[in-house]
Amino acid sequence: MAAEQAQKRIFENNDDCPIRNVVAQIGDKWSVLVLFALVDGTDRFNSIKSRVIGISQRMLTQTLRSLEREGYVERTVYPEVPVKVEYELTELGRDLVKPLYTLVSWADDHHQQIRNSRQAYDERA
């Protein structure tokens, strides 16, 4: 038993933990959806908002800023009247959506099974 405990991974709450420091940043409610909204190419704020149903303007702004800070999204401002702003995936962002696509495909394949499990659990609780 002690040998099993020694082999189990430890997850620290610091900047050295890739799960907390990287994965958790994209694991929020909206980031993956916004990333996938940009897979098809450069887009403007209102267009992204119209395709990510249910996201508020404030939350989309926060999510885009966070994704830009992490290096996944690039924001370009054009000095026009009115100001034109476009968002696109960076090379890092395009690289990120590749493994995320596998996760999204898995979720699509298992969605009904997960819903059934939730319902069965809730009925037992």
The percent of residues above 70 in pLDDT, for the chain, comes to 95
pLDDT of residue 98: 95
What global pTM score does this model have? 0.83
- Rounded to whole angstroms, the Cα distance separating 34 from 56 reads 12
Task: Read off the pLDDT of residues 68-100 as tens digits, 9 standing for 90 and up.
Answer: 999 999 999 999 888 999 999 999 999 999 999
Asked if the model's pLDDT at residue 20 lies above 80, the reply is no
Q: Please calculate the CA angle 83-85-78 and round it to the nearest 5 degrees.
A: 55
Task: Render pLDDT for 108-125 as a digit per residue (tens, 0 to 9).
Answer: 999 999 999 999 999 998
Q: What is the CATH number of domain 10-124?
A: 1.10.10.10
